Chain A
């Protein structure tokens, strides 16, 4: 029984970890291309989840349509935030920009509470079977979906950055803004693209979290939770973000296991990632995959 419980937790941890990885990737995307630490990342999840819920509950659209509309809406939302609020701040001190993103975070949280209320709203039922039997384990259908979506997003990211014109431009901008400009890359375009993509990806994660636990402002907490993941991987590494997400997801569930079985403290699950964060910052402040300059010898 205990072993089953552990394996079950590890599977859940893995899938949730993938999802953290996706959110962390969205975070890194913004940081890498425009050097903005986006404290409103969690609110992107929240807005996305509420948007999808609203389309489902008020218009009774089929799930896939609502999902698609949400993605389109979030792309525009992300780009607008960048164009209207962050573009005028280019060149301002980093602390002002951070304050603005914190402000955005508070603003959207309040707005969502005002529009949709403060109570947890469950998602309308989407899957016929709540859970599926996978090799003797009961796994929630939405977890499987989320795992697949996460993997899909990660693979598309990899291809996007390797092959596409915009992806290459984004990498170039991240590496050397002026050099990228001298090659004809429009930095403005790259920044808005980064915010648009980041918002969409976060929204997907937000919807999945919403389906699992219902939507409340608690989803925005995920934005804070990916910090340990991002710091672990290194602030500017996409690969690091994914691995960091996985590690944090697994760690969280392991902590839960220890807690339930032996310690009985309660709530270890929520705190463990931040202990990890503290330790990482002490021993490896740039994370495991953070920038190391290439040096020719």
Chain B
């Protein structure tokens, strides 16, 4: 459904951030994209959704295909129209609008304007607590804002949602709730999801496949189950790893990391 072929992203015409990245998301999957800070995960998402131009970024090489059409360098609004929606990092709700206005805004690209009120009801039934919030969305809690951001994405009736760190700044319980919602959306509505996360354990739990990025490249890919058993992944992302880490392991893990780069 979504395919990135060997893309390269350059910021400000000099800073090379993504160095030949390829990945593939099939219909109906949840795929997670993991990696340390600054690995280029968010940049990858922005390259897909066309939001790079705002930040002086540019896809200089490679192609991005969505539903068998090339979307490299398309306008963000056309990409949304085609059914690819990004929920940006930090939620980005329009703070001086109410919940309902935010949801209606999510349906901006929809052609069937008449069904919108019905869909707002539907989305609110997924997030019952948003129903009680009548004020401006800027005053919602972080978790509620995340729900609103996801709900807003649903209003556009996308085929695929790119989620950038939905767990950011949320309490552990809320993180769980948000992840359950993501899983539900995938199962009930059949929405494909590409998930960028810091919380590797939870992300690997709900996704079927995962990619691990480092320094603008994919260094490891595979089924989520296998990856969560992989020693390197365990050590770098899940914590724990082997018990006797404290002795000579530091040296070894450095070498192992070297092999990835």
Contacts and interface: CB of A to CB of B under 8 A. Distances in A.
Interface residues of A, number: 21
A277 to B, nearest CB: 26
Contact of B109 (A176, A178, A179, A184): A184
Interface string A33-45: 0000000000000
B49 interface: yes
Contacts of A162: 101
Contacts, number: 79
B64 to A, nearest CB: 16
B138 interface: yes
A50 B167 CA distance: 58
B217 to A, nearest CB: 25
Given A177-B54, A296-B139, A182 B108 contact: no
B122 to A, nearest CB: 18
Interface string A182-194: 1111100000000
B77 A175 contact: no
A191 to B, nearest CB: 13
A10 interface: no
A183 B51 contact: no
A172 to B, nearest CB: 5
A181 B86 CA distance: 10
Contact of A176 (B49, B81, B94, B104): B94
A155 to B, nearest CB: 18
A184 B96 contact: no
User: Most chain-B Cβ atoms within 10 A of its Cβ — which of A180, A183, A294?
Assistant: A183
B80 A179 contact: no
A181 B113 contact: no
Contact of B95 (A175, A180, A181): A175
B220 interface: no
Given A176-B92, A176-B94, A181-B51, A186 B136 contact: no
B250 interface: no
Nearest to B113: A165
Nearest to A166: B108
Interface in B58-75: 75
A171 B96 contact: yes
Given A171-B97, A172-B94, A183 B139 contact: no
B106 A294 contact: no
Interface of B: 49-51, 54-55, 75-77, 79-81, 85-88, 92, 94-97, 101, 104-106, 108-109, 113, 136, 138-139, 141, 152, 156
The 10 closest A-B pairs by CB, nearest first: A184-B80, A294-B138, A179-B92, A184-B109, A186-B77, A181-B76, A294-B95, A168-B105, A184-B77, A175-B94
Given A182-B92, A185-B77, 4 more contacts: A165-B104, A168-B101, A179-B94, A182-B85
23 contacts: A162-B101, A168-B104, A168-B105, A171-B97, A171-B101, A175-B94, A175-B95, A180-B94, A181-B76, A181-B77, A182-B76, A183-B80, A183-B85, A183-B105, A183-B106, A183-B108, A183-B156, A184-B80, A184-B85, A184-B108, A186-B75, A294-B138, A296-B141
Interface of A: 162, 165, 168-169, 171-172, 175-186, 293-294, 296
